[in-house]
Every structure is written in structure tokens, then in C-alpha cells.
Structure 1
Amino acid sequence: MQAWEEREERFAGYRRAGLRVPGLTELRPADEGTDEFPFDGPVHVLTAYDPGPARYGAAENERRQQALLEDLPAGVQRWSAVAGAEDGSHAEASVVVRGLTDAQALDLARRHGQDAVFRWTAEAWSILPCDGGPPVHQGWRTVR
């Protein structure tokens, strides 16, 4: 498979990815519309797990995630989270952060080898590609 085909396959998965913030909320992408937004401003979802097409074991992924957490600027709010496939076939430890600009979130993601960052606002669940490609904006719903 060509590199661009692999990228497109991964991004198709990102468009279906949901988010669980234990004790707070669970989000699923939707074609349009939004639900009650649980934060008081935009948040980004970051991970250092399995960058791009790489697939590491649990210990390496945990080491990588810890390095990402240590790279977060002081003062950003953070919540532990899990992002992944709706059917549970793939999940990655993540962190929801409030207080970063898109540029800061993308810089962190690039430094940790990631393809993209999720941005969640009251208006959209967005995928921001690290390679400068166009963002994808979707609706979202919380799971009740």
C-alpha cells in the first residue's frame, strides 16, 4: 500500500473515532449537530500512542505518553481520556487539554510523531492534520 493510501485509511478511522473522558463524558462523531458541551472552552485531544502507521507494545506506548504529558506547558488543564474506534477494536490513552492554541497542540503532536489532533468545541469535533492538510469538521453527540 502506498504511503498516501495508508494515511487516508488512518484518517478514515479518525473520522469515526470517539472519546471517553472517565467520570465526565463520552463523545461520538455525528454527521451534524452537537450536544451539551462539557468544558468552558475549546479543548484538544493529544496522544503519543502508535504514531502514524507504527504499532508499539504497551510499555513503549506508556513511555511515549508519559513523555508527552511531561511536554505539556504548565498551567494547561488536563483530563485523562481514551480515544478510539466506536466498536472498541482500537483505543489509545489520550489527554484532553484546555489552554493550548491549535498551533501549540499541533506542534506537540508533530514532536510525538502523530498524524493529527482532535479539537473539540461546542460547535464541532474536528480533526487537525499535522501535515498541513485541510481540517475535517464533524458534528458530535454525547453518549448517555
Structure 2
Amino acid sequence: MSRTARTEDYTRAVLRVPDLGVTLRPRPAGQVVGAFPFEAPVHVVTAHNPGAERPGAAENAARQARLEEDLDAQGVRWRRTVAGAEDGSHAEEGALVVGLDDTAACALGAAWGQDAVFRWSSSAWTVLACDGSPSVDLGWELGF
């Protein structure tokens, strides 16, 4: 799968944050429906499926566990997420990280081999490329 196709997958990803009981669905840029539940923008990072690699369920789970251990060791606040296809045909565990800026979030994503990370703010659901390519701003809608 090409990088362009992988980036397009990010723009369609639905985010579930189980301990908040919310589901974020991407919408057209500028369209925001729901109350943003944080004081400042947050980022979503995963260790699953780095770049074009598809290592399989066991390796993805091990990678994600190491990412979560690293976040804990650094004292970073985070919550578990699942992002993927609306119909559930593809899903990846991730971490919604509180307190990072875009540079740090992209560096974290790049360290785990990711093409991009998400930034969720009160005004946008943004796909931030880890290699400095242009970002993609979308809107969002919360469901419960």
C-alpha cells in the first residue's frame, strides 16, 4: 500500500475512546459537532502497522504494549483508543496522549514508524504527517 493510500486511511478513521464512552467520526473541515472533552489539543499515536509493514496481531500488540510502557515511564498522561474503519473491518489500538505539542507528538509517532499521528482540538481532527508533509484538517462529530 502506498503512503498516499495509507494517509487517506487516516482521514477515514473513526476513533473510539472507551473510558470516555465516545466515538469520534471525521467530518468535512470546519464541521464540529459535540463538546471537546479536554482543555487543550490532544494527540493519538499508535505503534501498530508501522509504515507499509503489517506485522500481524501478536507483534502489533507487543509493539503497542511497549509504547504504553514508554509513555508510563515518561510520566505522560494517556488513554487507550481504538481507531479504524467504521464497520470494524480494521482497527488499531492507540494512545490518546495529553500534554504534547505537535512536534513532540510527530517525533513520538516517527519513533514508532508511523506515517502520521492525529491531533484532536476543539476546532479540528487533524492528520499530522510525521515526515513534515502537509497536514490534513478535518472536522469531527462525537457520538456515544
Normalising by structure 1, we get a TM-score of 0.91
Residue in 2 aligned with 1:9?
A: 5
Alignment partner of 1:33 out of 23, 31, 34: 31
Q: Distance in 2 between matches of 1:97 and 1:83?
A: 14
The answer to whether the 8 A contact 2:19-2:79 is kept is: no
The answer to whether the 8 A contact 2:43-2:120 is kept is: yes
- Displacement of 1:23 in angstroms is 3.1
Alignment of 1:1-144 (within 5 A): 6-24=2-20, 25-31=22-28, 32-34=30-32, 35-72=34-71, 74-144=74-144
Stretch deviating more after TM superposition (116-125 or 64-73): 64-73
Cα deviation digits, residues 53-103 of structure 1 (max 9, x gap)? 111122111111122122226332211110111121110000101011111
Amino acid at match of 1:133: S
The answer to whether the 8 A contact 1:50-1:56 is kept is: yes
Q: Distance in 1 between matches of 2:40 and 2:75?
A: 15
The answer to whether the 8 A contact 1:68-1:108 is kept is: no
Matched length: 140
- Displacement of 1:52 in angstroms is 1.3
Amino acid at match of 2:37: P
Identity %: 53
**Unmatched 5+ stretches in structure 2:** none
Q: Distance in 2 between matches of 1:87 and 1:129?
A: 25
**Structure 1: which 4+ aligned runs deviate by more than 6 Å?**
none
**Unmatched 5+ stretches in structure 1:** none
Normalising by structure 2, we get a TM-score of 0.91
